[in-house]
Structure 1
Amino acid sequence: MLYIIDRLGRGGAEKLMTVTLPELRRRGVTVELMFFQQVSDSTIRDILEEQGIPLHFAPLDKIRRIDQILSIMGKIRALRPDVIHAHLQFGTIISSFARLLLRIPAVTTIHVMDRFEADAHPSLRDRVVDIGTRRILDRTIFLSPSSLAAARATTGIGRNAIVIPNGIDIAKFSTGSVAQSLRRDCGVGAEGLLLTTVAILRPLKGLEHLVAAMPQIIEASPMTSLAIVGDGPNRASLEEQIVALSLQERVHLLGFRTDIPEILAASDIFVLPTLREAFPTVILEAMASGLPVVASNVGGVPDIVDRDTGILVPTGTPKTLADAICTLLEDTSLRTTLSGNARRKAVTEFSIETQVDRLQALYSELAGRDV
């Protein structure tokens, strides 16, 4: 098996590699990873190397670099994989070339919804990806029924499209001991409650709407604090907004963290006010941690969160977001019920074992033998 991906950055697709590849390897599958662009500030490469996953760097700057593409084809030919599984745009394009030129069965996973929005303006790279997913690749994997439906409506993708949701390592997320120091750092006392969101700080995550909702939330529940975990281009604007609303004591920007399981275990409610989302794995992690979820009713989120596990709200509406959060803050019994349901749903539907079972069956079908 050869996995290929654009880069080993901090995104959800890259993070997925650190869970899926070791599980395949644990099952006796020989799996390697190729990537095309270097990222200096990510820990994903180090994690994969520690897990014993062979990594291959093959430079690719632009899809017009035919010399680089031919060099990559040579490297793939030398590796002789039974099946290629691509992720992200360059990965999808290269896997399409490998399917055409090397006759290697290939699949790709679509991780983002932007291309399938009604107002999308596809780039040249988007169009090349569309050709690959519709006409060349053996399968195109979508993460949720909503993502697949949106793709069919906008690009006309055909019967080779299937749904395989992402999975998570359930064992890493528990409802056990809580790191009280994390709660104290966020100003949460014995009677307080901690809201948490985890996201790259960029416009489409809608975090400014969550910060805007905090004055209403604090008025109703004065001991409530918010932890925003992650970093990104919107950090400075969020800092300015927090100061402008005098929320410095209640809203805390924790930056990029590697202790997400511990942070979730120390939290009471998970919030994701995203404006667009294909299938946010972080919601699965929150549910596995036994957290009720308040999230935007957008993209693949409703395929994860229902009324038994959380509350869905329209995008970009701070008051509605605050109302939903206040409902949970004020009703301990409801929080407890949703918490238990969320944990059970994560365990039964979204474990890494379930995801890899489905992937392994697909790989075996395409390879013509058990993989």
Structure 2
Amino acid sequence: MQNVQEDWTGGRIGETKRRESSNCSDDGEKGEPAGRDGEEWDRETLMMELTRMVQRVVRESSWWERRGMDCSILAAAFVCLPPAFLLLSSSQILAFSAGMLLMGVAHAVITVKGTHLSSHGALSESPAWGRFWAVFFIEICGSFSARAGIQGHIKMHHAHTNVIGLGDSSVWKLPFLPRTIYLFIAPLAVPIITPLVALAQLRGHPLAHIMRTIVMITLGLYSQYWLLINVSGFKSPCGALLCMVLCRAMLSVPYIHVNIFQHVGLPMFSPTRRPKRIYQMTHGVLNLPRNPLLDWTFGHSLINCHVEHHLFPFLSDNMCLKVKPVVSKYLSEKQLPYQEDSYLSRLNLFFHKYQELMVLAPPITELVGVQ
């Protein structure tokens, strides 16, 4: 994970950016190398110019803005778990339902927002702590392999966004399913499918890694089961397991929707003829509008700042929101697309063009483990 992390606060930029900026002088002026086509060079310098603008905003931001806000939201989700377990012990239907709702929302915050931020190393400036949080959120809380999740998300999805056969996939393509089942029923099976897929992803990995992942996933699942039995007072193991599945599946339908809405159906690129990064991300990524529930549970970088997230993937959710006006204004000035659409509009599009967008979509070769 350390070898792909970009430190925006300290000015250390990842290997790709270093290659792009190798021809810039120390004072920031752009020097065109000999033999480089002028138009192509201009396209490269657009990303470097936007990067400097975003870095300036990040450097001027406090720790609370860079990481503290998102860490507090995750901490609040964990604080909600004890009252949720206690409410689930109630025999009153309203209290029990409140416990289910509280646990379902808290689980979504931890397993979607937490796993996503930790996969990018956005929760800590320390690489060691970054690796720890990745294992904690992705494996213990999310029941998936941290190594496979980071490989699929960082090195495939972000590096090859909407490139046919590489980063064009969502985690959820089942073209043999009818559209209604695919969009509204099948996502409820995500909590069951996720650990099974995680085990399948372990093939070929070192034995120590396989054992650690199995232990961490088992620890996370058994911890919730044990608390439901011993704190919430479930008498039946089947009842506790059913409660686990229902809580974990509570927001899986919008999660899958978001997963496909923001990339599928947008321009796709050939592996051998892809555009420069800023063109690839502005054409192949879409923002959804602000949504109070999804903003706080999934995070801004997955909802209304997905364009910003793909341009600057190691910024936290709150920092993506803060740099959003800078990015949108810059892209508008440079006459680059800044794609936005409503949740209902995208749902209507996928429902009526399901055959075209999902069934007949280009084949994928890599599974994106964390979207």
TM-score range, shorter chain: under 0.3
Task: State TM-score, norm by structure 2.
Answer: 0.23
- Structure 1 or 2: more strand by fraction: 1
- Structure 1 or 2: more helix by fraction: 2
Task: State TM-score, norm by structure 1.
Answer: 0.23
